[in-house]
């Protein structure tokens, strides 16, 4: 069988390139190669192997980062919801008071959703001024989108945890970072990372009583959990993430 296939391959190469012509251009007739005979019941060789899709990682085992919280019922608080004020989309879950099964007040503890290593803790964070906020939003309006640098600033004071396997959680808009939480420190699930605030929000620039909530993200590789999916599928993935 191998000899037959090899002979067919040589014949195909000669047919495409042409036999030596002694310096003359000899017309070459191209013909579709005939399949090699196969025994009954044996598989026919394929010229290209079918690509095997990479299954999405199974994300689960997280606890809610606010004590007593649940997944918000409104899709506008979940990933992929539009954020017109900055010409972008939401990349995480917003936990607001009375919209997440429990009061979420300024200064409340923000908890590690899973054991991990701190890879970012904004200990030297500087608050956004009104002038800077206006500049950030004007830049987004001019671009028609929110670039990574602007979005990072609008997340306010943050803590990031690396859980391994390319999974990182982000805790944003914090009022403060808890003492002892610093880059390289291992924190346990349920450990206090910081306090609920409104840093990075347009409203928070002028009034500390407005927009106090936790913005929480689950990142998988270079994307956020649910990126590009429907609201229903995104919610299913988040429900799975917060299941044992």
Domain map (residue ranges) of the chain: 75-241
Contact 141, 87 (CB under 8 A): yes
Residues of the chain with pLDDT below 70 are 1-56
Model-wide pTM > 0.75: yes
Amino acid 54: pLDDT: 54
Amino acid 58: pLDDT: 85
Among candidate residues 180, 80, 165, 75, the one with its CA nearest the CA of residue 114: 165
Contact 183, 118 (CB under 8 A): yes
**Torsion angle (degrees, nearest 10) of CA 135, 216, 225, 159:** 80
Amino acid 104: pLDDT: 97
Q: What CATH fold (topology level) applies to the domain 75-241? A: Glucose Permease (Domain IIA) (2.70.70)
Amino acid 51: pLDDT: 56
What whole-number distance in Å separates Cα of residue 45 and Cα of residue 42? 9
The token duo for 88 is 């972008």
Among candidate residues 159, 85, 92, the one with its CA nearest the CA of residue 120: 159
């Amino acid at each position: 069988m191998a000899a037959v296939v090899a002979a067919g391959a040589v014949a195909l190469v000669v047919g495409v390139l042409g036999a030596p012509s002694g310096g003359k251009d000899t017309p070459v007739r191209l013909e579709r190669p005939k399949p090699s005979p196969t025994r009954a019941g044996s598989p026919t060789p394929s010229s290209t192997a079918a690509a095997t899709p990479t299954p999405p990682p199974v994300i689960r085992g997280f606890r809610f980062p606010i004590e007593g919280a649940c997944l918000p019922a409104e899709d506008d608080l979940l990933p992929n919801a539009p954020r017109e004020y900055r010409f972008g989309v939401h990349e995480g879950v917003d936990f607001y008071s009375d919209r997440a099964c429990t009061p979420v007040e300024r200064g409340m503890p923000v908890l590690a959703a899973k054991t991990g290593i701190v890879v970012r803790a904004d200990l030297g964070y500087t608050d956004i001024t009104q002038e800077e906020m206006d500049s950030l939003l004007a830049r987004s309006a001019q671009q028609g989108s929110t670039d990574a640098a602007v979005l990072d600033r609008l997340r306010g004071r943050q803590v990031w945890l690396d859980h391994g396997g390319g999974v990182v959680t982000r805790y944003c808009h914090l009022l403060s970072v808890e003492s002892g939480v610093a880059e390289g420190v291992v924190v346990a699930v349920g450990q206090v990372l910081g306090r609920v605030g409104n840093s990075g929000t347009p409203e928070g620039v002028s009034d500390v009583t407005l927009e106090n909530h936790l913005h929480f993200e689950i990142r998988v590789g270079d994307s956020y959990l649910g990126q590009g999916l429907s609201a229903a599928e995104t919610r299913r993935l988040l429900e799975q993430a917060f299941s044992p």
